[in-house]
Amino acid sequence: MVTGESATPGSAAPAPPDGAAPRRFKSVTGTRRTVAFLFLLPALVLLGALVVYPIGYSVVRSFFNASGHSFIGFDNYQTLFTRSDTKAAINNNIWWMVLAPTVATALGLIFAVLTERIRWGTAFKLIVFMPMAISMLAAGIIFRLVYDQDPGKGAVNAVWTSVHDTFSSSSAFPKAHPRPNDPLAGRPGGPYLTKQPVKAGTAVLLPLVGVAADQMPKDAKPAKAASASPGKVTGTLWQDFTLGKGVGHPQAVDSTEVGYPGMRVEAVKGGKVVASTTAAADGTFTLPAAADGAKLRLPASNFKEAYNGVEWLGDKKFFTIHLGGFDLYLNIVTTSIMVAYVWMWAGFAMVLIGAGLAGIPRELLEAARVDGASEWQVFRRVTVPLLAPVLAVVLVTLMINVLKIFDLVYIIAPGSSQDDANVLALQLYLSAFNENDPGLASAIAVLLLLLVIPVIWFNLRRLRREERR
């Protein structure tokens, strides 16, 4: 054996001396795992501090009372399903999850398909997508004004009342009414009848009050006492009021008072209208001899209130479904807020679905058309099935999004109907900060987590199914 010479390249490593421990080499795999763990450690710390710990704390806190000193078990969860405001929040969240994502996805699909063939499709997509650039707060303020009850402020009611008034006009004298001692009597809003029958050849005075001077029709002229006419019933309908203390005489036509032009007068005998007419600009009217011995009636149409539109942010219910001890209902204020949400998010759905639509092989669509399929059949049997993964992504994303809806409800719904538009995220905020009850707020947070889990599970299952393909 030659000693003191180094081993030649490529030769085997010298064996360890007898009785010595074998030399250990550092594992490359182990080093990589350690380095990977060190790189992941900051993210894991943040995940634990910002996600895992808050979830665990919320679950534990939900079993304690408002002060956090007494363990009350499931009492907060019982309150969640029995108190009126929290039950309303659960009810509304169910409708939010069912309707808002479905409608937004359906509109996005329709917009994406229809704009694919039109020349100005890109401009239309840009317009539809623009609301996504607006914050929820700004959108809430916009729609709070859009839904204003006053037609002079709210755009929706301005259009609604214009359409309504096209087919059913209101009266020019909605507030007009007789005084207690006047010849006319009746319930507020009409109709009003003379207390005594009228006779032909006599002039009748029918004074009314209640219409503001600045609201009188522009064609109203100074009232004139009608002259008696043989064989006919004549009279005057006028505003029996003059501004100023002690000015004018009740039940007498004064020179400063004006008539009620266009007001309808009917002569009624035995419950039947035997004659009718309308007042002139100076308030005078004439009825034929058939009105002799009849009572004069001013029908309710003379006093019809102006149509003020729909209370879009009110608590009116469309329908109610009875499910054992729980009533599932949909009201108008929740529906109105959903419209604002769909206005914002339909563009998001359209862009994603449009991207999926661009990836569909055109050969498949053309082949279906060559085989004689109509455009509707191509859409229903080819386009929609191929877009199913994209539609599922959009639908799941919007379902998760509506579970945490807060801004729109808080801003759009007025204080009078905020309880009717309540949702879980808003109720969580109110319970935690307005009612100072972190226990109930934690129970709501846990419920929201439980509602999100099935949606996330569905999404993960879909992703794994696509990976297997």
Task: Express each pLDDT in 156-187 by its tens digit.
Answer: 999 988 887 777 666 778 889 998 888 999 98
Q: What is the largest CA-CA distance in the chain?
A: 158
287: confidence class by pLDDT, cuts 50, 70, 90: very high
pLDDT mean over 199-227: 89
Which sign, positive or negative, has the C-alpha torsion 270, 273, 275, 279?
A: positive
How much is the mean pLDDT over the chain? 87
pLDDT higher than threshold 60 for residue 393: yes
pLDDT for the residue numbered 62? 93
Which sign, positive or negative, has the C-alpha torsion 132, 133, 138, 144?
A: negative
Quote the pTM value: 0.74
- Please give the single-letter amino acid code of residue 179: R
Give the strand order in the sheet containing 264-269.
184-186, 192-194, 295-298, 264-269, 272-278
Q: Which of 9-18, 90-99, 370-379 has the lowest mean pLDDT?
A: 9-18
pLDDT for the residue numbered 301? 86
pLDDT higher than threshold 50 for residue 423: yes
Of 315, 337, 347, nearest to 411 by C-alpha is 337
Phi and psi at residue 112, to the nearest 5°:
-65, -40
pLDDT for the residue numbered 117? 79
